[in-house]
Structure 1
Amino acid sequence: MQKVILSNPTDFEGEIAIIEQLLMEDSLIFHLRKPDKSLKEYESFLKSISPKFYKKIVLHSHHELIKKYNLRGIHITEKIRQNMDEFVMENMVKLLRNRGLSVSFSLHTLNAIENLAFKADYVFLSPILKSISKTDYIGAFTMDELRFFFQVRKSEIPVFALGGIREENEDLLQSIGFQGYVLMGSVWEKYFQEEKQHE
């Protein structure tokens, strides 16, 4: 299964060193999501990561940076998708994929996967389990509902599970039908706990 790590949304001390350590894993994909950063701040953060890892990094915002750096691709959130003209998005997706760059989407319903009008390399489906980082976020689907969906679905887009996912969930997710999973809270929670122990 494909493993993706989603960055912590806010910065913390020692973060770049940890990101680079995580990126040493061969097949890992790293999604850079810093929703409160301006273009300048986002680019500065990206530049602080060694360029040797850029082909593993996917941008969640400030997609124009894809022209400037040798990155893996872009991720399109629900908000961006809803606010962009469908024709403009279709052309953008085609252009990027023709350049060999990955394009992925955040989706929140099973129907959205089946009805996605664009070719994507993969999509995130969330929330799957009770969130680790957001106490009021619970899974939106039953395991039976997900299993049935993967048995009968028409779409061939790889679907990655997001929300409350830990590495030890991999076998369960694979048995349901997911092709990958996204880690966020479970990764950064570990480093925050270690930091507290050292205080």
Structure 2
Amino acid sequence: MELIVISNPAAVADESSLINKLFIAGLKYFHLRKPESDVQTVKKLLNGIAPRFYERIALHQFHEIAADYGIKRLHYTERAREASNTIQWQSKLDDGFTLSTSAHDISGLPGLTPFDYVFYGPVFDSVSKPGYQSKLGADFKLDKTNIKSKVIALGGVKLSNLANVKAMCFDGAAVLGTLWNEPDEALERFKQLKENLPA
């Protein structure tokens, strides 16, 4: 099962250094999502990350700077995906990019074939967004019969429910609030999640 980390939407003290440490501790993929930041702020953050990790970073916005950093992973929010089209995605795939997206409706997952993986949530009550609650029952199991993309559980994922993610038939988990609500604990919490990640 995969474990993906999404950045804190706000700035974090020594953020680049902390991201480097997460990669060194075994983080496979990091999603850089800064919806309120400008492109210069995002570039400054990237400049502090070791270049050897760029291939493992997905950009949520400012896709146009990907080439400057050798980044080959692009994420499309639900809104951005709805504003683009299959021709644009195919062009990116032809250029060697790996694409991901977000979805909040299970019925739409089978149609997201250009995307390597899809964040689906909230699977549990959100840690970072109070009041953002899951609509899934405790006995939910994802039927992947017609879904070609990997589906990554998002929302409220923490150590105590990591095994549930696997039982629900998701391909992986993405974490945000569990790490960033207490940035001083982020590295240690990531290590605990990684050690307890179901196969």
TM-score (norm 1): 0.85
| In 2: Cα distance, 1:119 partner to 1:180 partner | 18
The answer to whether the 8 A contact 1:150-1:176 is kept is no
Please give the per-residue CA displacement for 1:18-71, whole angstroms capped at 9, x wherever unaligned: 111001144520000000111222222212211111011000000111222211
Please give the per-residue CA displacement for 1:127-179, whole angstroms capped at 9, x wherever unaligned: 110111111111122233x31x426x311211000000014433211111000
Which residue is equivalent to 2:88?
Answer: 92
Matched AA of 1:63: H
Q: Aligned pair 1:122/2:112, yes or no?
A: no
The answer to whether the 8 A contact 2:7-2:31 is kept is yes
- Of 97, 105, 121, which residue of structure 2 is paired with 1:109? 105
Q: Is the deviation greater in 92-101 or in 35-44?
A: 92-101
Which residue is equivalent to 1:197?
Answer: none
- Of 139, 143, 148, which residue of structure 2 is paired with 1:150? 143
Which residue is equivalent to 2:75?
Answer: 75
Q: Is the deviation greater in 129-138 or in 66-75?
A: 66-75
- Which residues of structure 2 form unaligned runs of 5+? 187-199
| In 2: Cα distance, 1:139 partner to 1:157 partner | 22
Matched AA of 2:122: P
Q: Post-superposition, which runs of at least 4 consecutive aligned residues in structure 1 deviate over 3 A? A: none
Q: Aligned pair 1:39/2:39, yes or no?
A: yes
Among all aligned residue pairs of Structure 1 and Structure 2, give the percentage whose two residues are the same amino acid: 28
Matched AA of 1:96: K
Matched AA of 2:147: S
| In 1: Cα distance, 2:87 partner to 2:46 partner | 26
As a proportion of its length, which structure holds more helix? 1
- Which residues of structure 1 form unaligned runs of 5+? 195-199
Which residue is equivalent to 1:177?
Answer: 169
TM-score (norm 2): 0.85
Per-residue deviation, 1:79: 1.4
Matched AA of 1:165: V
Matched AA of 2:103: L
| In 1: Cα distance, 2:128 partner to 2:93 partner | 32
| In 2: Cα distance, 1:185 partner to 1:193 partner | 11
